[in-house]
Structure 1
Amino acid sequence: MSTTETPRSIPTALPGFTVRVATPAEWARVTEWANREGWNHGFSDAACFLATDPHGFFLGYLGDRPVAAVSLVNHNDGYAVWGHYLVDPGFRAQGYGRATCRVARKHAGDRILASDAMPGQVTNYTRSGLVRAHDTVHYTGLPRPSGDAAAGVVPYEPAWLDAVTDYDRLSFPDGRPAFLAHWLAAEGHRTFLRVTDGVLTGYGVLRPAPLRWRIGPLVADTEQDGEALFAALTTGLGPDEEVSLFVPERQGWFAAARGLTEEFRVVRMYTAAVPEGRAERVYAIGSLELG
């Protein structure tokens, strides 16, 4: 699979509009934009995202002013994920977002692309070659206790990284070792494993964010494994501390059973068929931006 190296700043067909690969300092502005829109990025999200693929984050500038953003992160040689599609409200409907996407698209080469579309944008995404796969639902609320958090649940340690990476590959469309290496042990993240007879049967991550705690990924062999991990992740939260998670629609019952309610939904789309794997074991994805 190929990746086209993107110059630091390149012109577009729009007068005065250029696109560049963002530095971490520049991308901090995008995190601010996103959180003003209510996206509730975790405090360590940006550091983990950029470490996964430093060349996959793009800012569109009108003169010296950043007005558009998109990320296209290459997880490996075969799979990439669109995210962070944002345009400054005062500059929307002028083509700046599309121009930024056209530059970013080259970065992924011929990899399979994934993206999450708001329901009203599905037709536009379809015109760009993406095919609808399923809905992903955002659930929020005060978590209801579930199961026995102590039974077979242990805190994550780096010695488990390879095992978690291999386990995750069974339910994710492709491998994402770089992402997991940063995500599992990021500052503020609480990661737990479910281990049965010495075998990994699930893992989950809780992270702090401005509006409420976020859970994801949460992947488990069985509902009981998922319950035990959910209990471990939420034990210790205050009585008024909410959580949120993005759940594939088919697993929405799990979030509802934990006392959470649907807030909104997006549509997961791909440019080509992806392996289903053990999708039924995904109780929460890591993030919309990186899957």
Structure 2
Amino acid sequence: MATFEITGASAADMGLIRSWAEEEGWNPGDSDRFAFVVADPEGFLVGRRDGEPVTCVSAVRYGAGFGFIGFYIARPDVRGQGYGIQLWRAAMERLDGRLVGLDGVVAQQDNYRKSGFLPAWNNIRYEGAPQGEDDGGAEIVDAACLPFGVLAAYDRRFFPEPRDAFLSAWTGLPGRTALAAVRDGRIEGLGVVRPSSGAHRIGPLYAASPQVAAALLRRLAQHAPGGLVALDAPDANPRATALCEGLGLVPTFETARMYTGPAPRIALPELFGVTSLELG
């Protein structure tokens, strides 16, 4: 009889988890995992059958009251055998007592509802090369030139708990570009573009207006081969989806943002692209 155990993910496991996510068509960033483990080194779990990894999930803790589920994958050859649900229960137990969020494929909404999750909005992935000229009116600068405390305080407007260590890695890893929009000494936007196996991923994309968002998006796309980028826009902000369509990007994928309780209060009208479908 096969044995099944749940352990924390090793560095090698993190590479495997990334490849599984790629096989699912999620197009994770090439170096995302290095920022992920900074967020919560113990937040990545692997289910092993007879010592061999067959399932994975992330259950990342933020602050004292928030958690996020991601990377919930069972290897195709073991699906339907109960290994995935065992790992899911371990992940939810790790986040017990917290408000928990996730981004799941729309087809799985009913299953997540059974675990107490309620839909908040859908994230629509738009891809392509943004068209048009910059007209945002704000100055676009390298985000690394700004005091990190300014970036962290700005990020807190869009996320329910501080995540400074993650943000530092996410914006500063080699190969990616982080740009900020500044007007009259105030930050009015932030965006990060990172290499992926498909179109370069942009996230987050925060902006005070669609014009600033468009300027950031176009400038970030200059750092992607052929200008091809992918952005996960929340449909709860109609300005975000309208912006993507107005720039000539096309929808290719969709996920459901869900929470175990009321959705956190964030600056949703200024959220044009979520940071990560895996960690929120």
| TM-score bracket for the superposition, by shorter chain length | over 0.9
In the TM superposition, residue 241 of structure 1 has moved relative to its aligned partner by: 4.3
CA offsets per residue over residues 135-156 of structure 1, 9 Å max, x none?
1111112222442489411001
How is 1:27-42 mapped onto 2 (pairs within 5 angstroms)? 27-42=14-29
Hey, what's the Cα distance between the residues in 1 that align with 2:149 and 2:105? 34
CA contact (8 A) 1:141 1:244 kept: yes
The answer to whether structure 1 residue 54 and structure 2 residue 47 are counterparts is: no
What is residue 44 of structure 1 aligned with on the other side? 31
Hey, what's the Cα distance between the residues in 1 that align with 2:182 and 2:227? 27
Hey, what's the Cα distance between the residues in 2 that align with 1:224 and 1:77? 36
Hey, what's the Cα distance between the residues in 2 that align with 1:262 and 1:32? 23
Hey, what's the Cα distance between the residues in 1 that align with 2:168 and 2:210? 26
How is 1:1-291 mapped onto 2 (pairs within 5 angstroms)? 16-148=3-135, 151-157=138-144, 159-238=146-225, 240-249=226-235, 250=237, 251-291=240-280
For residues 145 and 214 of structure 1, do their structure 2 counterparts lie closer, same or farther at Cα, with a shift above 3 Å needed? farther
CA contact (8 A) 1:148 1:231 kept: no
Hey, what's the Cα distance between the residues in 2 that align with 1:150 and 1:132? 35
Letter in 2 for 1:166: A
Hey, what's the Cα distance between the residues in 1 that align with 2:145 and 2:53? 38
- Extract structure 1 runs of 4+ deviating beyond 4 A: 148-151
Aligned identity (percent) is 34
Hey, what's the Cα distance between the residues in 1 that align with 2:163 and 2:59? 14
For residues 149 and 25 of structure 1, do their structure 2 counterparts lie closer, same or farther at Cα, with a shift above 3 Å needed? farther
Letter in 1 for 2:17: V
CA contact (8 A) 1:136 1:267 kept: yes
CA contact (8 A) 1:192 1:233 kept: yes
For residues 125 and 236 of structure 1, do their structure 2 counterparts lie closer, same or farther at Cα, with a shift above 3 Å needed? closer
Hey, what's the Cα distance between the residues in 2 that align with 1:127 and 1:145? 45
How does the TM-score come out when normalised to structure 1? 0.90
In the TM superposition, residue 281 of structure 1 has moved relative to its aligned partner by: 0.6
Deviates more, 1:148-157 or 1:177-186: 148-157
CA contact (8 A) 2:191 2:220 kept: yes
Deviates more, 1:137-146 or 1:17-26: 137-146
In the TM superposition, residue 158 of structure 1 has moved relative to its aligned partner by: 6.2
In the TM superposition, residue 106 of structure 1 has moved relative to its aligned partner by: 2.4
For residues 32 and 182 of structure 1, do their structure 2 counterparts lie closer, same or farther at Cα, with a shift above 3 Å needed? same
CA contact (8 A) 1:139 1:246 kept: yes
CA contact (8 A) 2:136 2:211 kept: no
CA contact (8 A) 2:195 2:224 kept: no
How does the TM-score come out when normalised to structure 2? 0.94
Hey, what's the Cα distance between the residues in 1 that align with 2:54 and 2:180? 41
Aligned Cα root-mean-square deviation (Å): 1.7
CA contact (8 A) 1:67 1:87 kept: yes
